[in-house]
Structure 1
């Protein structure tokens, strides 16, 4: 994510609404279409339709669609949900999900749509719907951490600190969340157990404490400290005390760490080249670092996908920022930046991978207002998430 350590200039253009490719249209390279037969319950129908729309593996359509989904719902005893998918004139599969309460029904719908995706598409390792979205919302000049569903629905405030609370980052199971707190008396990295809403201080060293990133094992955190008057990356235990300095470079800013899928490497942002900040990778134990790609444009805010081993980031192109990504499975000289969207104006920053490893959520700033969008790296389509008012930033999706 883009942090305060690198202040980014912004250029402003006009918001674009949804940009979409539909297989039913003349260009047949988009998502397959799907028709949805009503369950007889308007709330269930709306939840299923919204989840399918925002998951963005199918395009909802009418008759003549590639797939037909029949949804059955019963509220006798438990809330019982059945999905039956047909295609090519035959039923492909069916499955059942149960919810003990009406409140839990939305989460069951999300789980059902995730299963629908993974059972339909061989390349789908996971669906995106089960993920939780953390982000920063500013109200009355105060920034706090908020939570929402993967599509922005159900927004609820997490922190009530009444001071600057930013940089949310999820742990591997979507239970623990770190964020940076700046008050008049202390700068801390805090750790939240979102199942109980209990918080504790993870780091409160002298000077800067920021940019925490939890390892995929959940045992360690990489973060930025300024113990020696220099901003460097450290690693520390989440449960046990003790820290290790990973970068040691005088007059150089190293920031925004994120972990490789196997926790053996850390990607981070550095201006050590003496020019513009870009992305480097080093051993999780520290040591020499190398640029992750040959491209020399400014690149910040990395996020490393545990499913696909791709790194997304915000890259400066001309006077604005776009969301790019590279495949870390390739040798360095073969890593070519691909873009997750067309150049449709505005600054696109702070990317975070969705749980499916295909989509990215990021912040887009236009005319001084920032809202959250979902990008499809496969078809380069763009969709605004729900409930964002132009004062929302720094998104983070749980795995």
Structure 2
């Protein structure tokens, strides 16, 4: 098997009870000693990387009275779902596992030959302890072929946060194997109509822990996370206008930042989180402007005949991608914010790609967008030079309309809205278009996804 390396830090620590309460106070995460080996490296940019088989037995229940036995399976399933989501791992079927008698999670009590027999490459051994409403998670990751411990950590939280604890464990596994943080602790924002109105909701990256943000019984659209994930901008229909609002999660306020005559559409954050770009029409033409968080205009970004919408910034904030119909049809342009030059980057074959929308610039310097290709909207990626364009959806089957793509914060995944099953729902895929899957546990229809930190 590939070489692996432990990143564990050896230290002496007090008894388990003391650790539990220290952890509750400071969000502790503790390390056990491990042996230093060369790290696994997966080429996560490869078109089709071979998945690593990982065994995740149900967790051991170390609670003094056996409280919450249901968590043993539920927590294992969260971790399996997380790792499977990445496209780098294959969570094995627990029905193939040979039960081990010991409740210990340590290396000397593991029969690695049993896991080798079912072709497991990595093994997760974990257990939990319930104390009142509090939960302690202990987990260890092993390289099966070398019978070695790779990661061992302990997390603390409330019982109702068990999914978050498993997301944290999954993040440690992904970091160990790939060298990169996962997206398991990130958030989604989107429009959902399950209340009978189009309202803004936020959730964990996998659609769980959903909560409603707007309660206006109107139409809320275009939620956009701020770079730090502490604020959310959105448009809300008020009478005949669409003002732009900001929800501040730290202080719990909602403030109106732009309600000029005409259009106040969109609202895309600059990378430093200090300004927003949006489309205004108060001077007649529909152009892009930069406003501060008080709504004051800081800069006019475009000034051409036509409609300019859907801005998004490059990671360094020096360029902006947007949609303009100045050539006759909605095409993608890039503006250099330093020298003020603008250039078109989408040139599809005749009769294709004449309606493009929703460009978004990734942390890894790629642009994703939706284009009317044939009779359906499909998702494409392109580089900022207008080269290396690749179609990601609708390649092998009728997948309906695929729209409003948005990058994950790390630029390795895309969330988008699709009606391939009838109503619009949120789907995710890897940057190469592989592993397309629906977020299944959301009610109603979902559109306008935004993926925040």
**Is it true that 1:350 corresponds to 2:407 in the alignment?**
no
Cα deviation code 1:169-209 (max 9, x no counterpart)? 11111111100111116421110112443211121111111
Instruction: Give the structure 1 partner of residue 102 of structure 2.
Output: none
Looking at structure 2, the residues matched to 197 and 356 of structure 1 have their Cα atoms a distance apart, in angstroms, of 27
Q: CA 1:282–1:303 in structure 2 vs 1: closer, same or farther (change >3 Å)?
A: same
Residue equivalent to 1:46: 77
Specify every segment of 5 or more residues in structure 1 that has no aligned partner in the other structure, as ranges: 1-26
**Which of 187, 198, 211 is matched with 1:156 structurally?**
211
Contact 1:341 1:380 in 2 (8 A): no
Please tell me whether Structure 1 or Structure 2 has the larger radius of gyration of its CA atoms: 2
1:14 — aligned with what? none
Any idea what SS the aligned residue of 2:189 has? strand
What are the equivalent positions in structure 2 for 1:1-399 lying under 5 Å apart?
A: 29-40=49-60, 41-62=72-93, 63-75=118-130, 79-91=136-148, 93-122=150-179, 125-139=180-194, 142-184=197-239, 186-239=241-294, 241-250=296-305, 252-274=306-328, 276-284=329-337, 287-295=340-348, 297=353, 298-306=355-363, 308-328=364-384, 331-332=385-386, 334-339=387-392, 342-345=395-398, 346-366=400-420, 368-378=422-432, 380-389=434-443, 391-399=445-453
C-alpha distance in 2 between matches for 1:73 and 1:223: 48
Quote the residue 1:3 is aligned against: none
The question of whether the paired residues in 2 share the 8 Å contact of 1:245 and 1:286 is answered with no
Give the match's secondary structure for 2:193: strand
- Structure 1 window deviating more from structure 2 (343-352 vs 32-41): it is 32-41
Question: Residue 286 of structure 1: CA displacement?
Answer: 7.9
Alpha-carbon separation, structure 2, partners of 1:245 and 1:369: 38
CA drift of 1:95 comes to: 3.1
Is the 1:30–1:379 Cα contact (8 Å) retained in structure 2? no
Whole-angstrom distance in 1 between the partners of 2:174 and 2:294: 36
- For residue 320 of structure 1, report the CA deviation from its aligned partner: 0.5
Provide the C-alpha distance between the structure 2 equivalents of 1:91 and 1:342, rounded to a whole number of angstroms. Answer: 42
Shift of 1:45: 1.8
Name the Cα RMSD after superposition.
Answer: 2.4
How big is the shift at 1:254? 0.5
Distance verdict in 2 for CA 1:71–1:201, change over 3 Å: same
Query: Which structure has greater strand proportion?
Result: 1
Greater fraction of residues in helix: 2
Q: How many residues align structurally?
A: 365
Query: After superposition, what is the alpha-carbon deviation per residue over 1:120-147, rounded to whole angstroms, capped at 9, x for unaligned?
Result: 014xx33111111111012465211011
Q: Which runs of 5+ in 2 are unaligned?
A: 1-46, 61-71, 94-117
Q: Whole-Å Cα distance in 2 between the matches of residues 220 and 110 of structure 1?
A: 32
Find the residue that maps to 1:37 and give its secondary structure.
Answer: coil
How far the C-alpha of 1:227 sits from its partner, in A, is: 1.2
User: Structure 1 residues 316, 30: closer, same or farther in 2, change over 3 A?
Assistant: farther
- Over 3 Å counting, the alpha-carbon distance change for 1:156 and 1:75 in structure 2 is same
Q: Is the 8 A contact 2:87 2:435 kept in 1?
A: no
Spell out, residue by residue over 1:284-303, the C-alpha distance to the aligned partner (whole angstroms, 9 max, x if none): 36833112344462321111
Give, in whole Å, the separation in 1 of the partners of 2:135 and 2:444: 39
Cα offset, 1:239, TM superposition: 4.8
Q: 2:171 aligns to what SS in structure 1? A: helix
2:164, 2:237 → 1: CA distance? 34
Q: What TM-score, normalized to structure 2?
A: 0.75
Provide the rounded CA distance (Å) in 1 between the counterparts of 2:251 and 2:435.
37
